Amino acid sequence: MKKLIWKENRRYKWNLVPSAVISGTETGIDHFTWKVNSDEQYEETNLKDIEEGHSVLSFIPNEMTSTLSNSIVTEMQTGKVNDKVVLKIEAGENSIIFTSTHIIPFYRDGSFIEDNIGVLQVGDEVIVCDVQEFSEHQPTHSTLPIDSITIGEDLSESELLHPYTEKGYIFVNNILVEG
C-alpha cells in the first residue's frame, strides 16, 4: 500500500474529499521537507519520517515581505484517498504530486490566491524555498511559474498520512502548500 499525506479542507470546515501528497510513489517522486535537526540546522527529510513535535521550515504566504521561519508539526493524521484526480505540478526543478483538492497558495496575474490545486494553470506562480540560496540560518523564498500540470495515476483507497503544522503551511519539495 502506498503512503500518502492526507488532509481535509480545514479552512472551510467542509466534509470534502481528502487531499494527498504522495510519498514514494511509483512515479519516482519522493516528497521531502526541511526539518530542523538537533544542531539547529535544516536537513532534507522525507515526509513519511516527519513526526509530531518536529520543527519544519514554513512561511506565511500572504506576507511575502516576511522571512521564512520554523513551524512545529502538531498532529499527524491517517486515512484513505477518496479523490481519483491526482496532479503533478512542475515549477522549475521542483515538482509535487497532490490530489486536486489540496489547498495551495499561489499568484495569478500578480494577485495572491489560496485555492484547490485543481484550479492551478500553467504560468501561475507558486512560492518556493530557494535551495540554491539556502543557508542554515537565513533560508530565502521567491515565486516560480508553473511549467506543467499533468494528471497522474488513480490512487484511490491508498493509505494517507498528513502532518499539520502550527502555521498551517509546509514546504514540500520546496513548494509551499497548506499543511
Cα dihedral 108, 110, 112, 169 in deg (nearest 10):
80
* CATH class of segment(s) 3-178: mainly beta
Q: Is the per-residue pLDDT at 80 higher than 90?
A: no
Torsion over CA: 21, 23, 27, 29 (sign): positive
CB of 47 closer than 8 Å to CB of 56: no
In percent, how much of the chain has pLDDT > 90? 24
Structural domain boundaries in the chain: 3-178
Q: Which residue would you say has higher pLDDT here, 142 or 66?
A: 142
With b for 16 or more beta-carbon neighbours within 10 A and e for fewer, the 76-94 pattern comes to: beebebbbebbbbbbbeeb
Question: What is the per-residue pLDDT across 21-58, written as a single tens digit (0 to 9) for each?
Answer: 544 444 446 788 889 888 777 888 888 888 999 999 88
Which amino acid does the sequence have at 136? E
Is pTM, for the whole model, over 0.95? no
Q: Is the per-residue pLDDT at 144 higher than 90?
A: yes
Cα 25–chain centre separation:
15
**Residue 63, CA atoms < 13 Å, CB-side half-sphere:** 9
Q: Which residue would you say has higher pLDDT here, 40 or 91?
A: 91
C-beta neighbour count of 66 within 10 angstroms = 11
CA-CA distance, 168 to 81, in Å (whole number)?
21
77: alpha, beta or left, given left = phi > 0 and alpha = psi -120 to 50?
beta
pLDDT of residue 18: 41
Residue 114 phi/psi, 5° resolution? -130, 110
pLDDT of residue 131: 65
Question: What is the per-residue pLDDT across 149-175, written as a single tens digit (0 to 9) for each?
Answer: 988 766 666 666 678 899 988 888 898
C-beta neighbour count of 126 within 10 angstroms = 25
Categorize the per-residue pLDDT at 3 as very low, low, confident or very high, splitting at 50, 70 and 90. Answer: very low
pLDDT (average), residues 3-15: 35
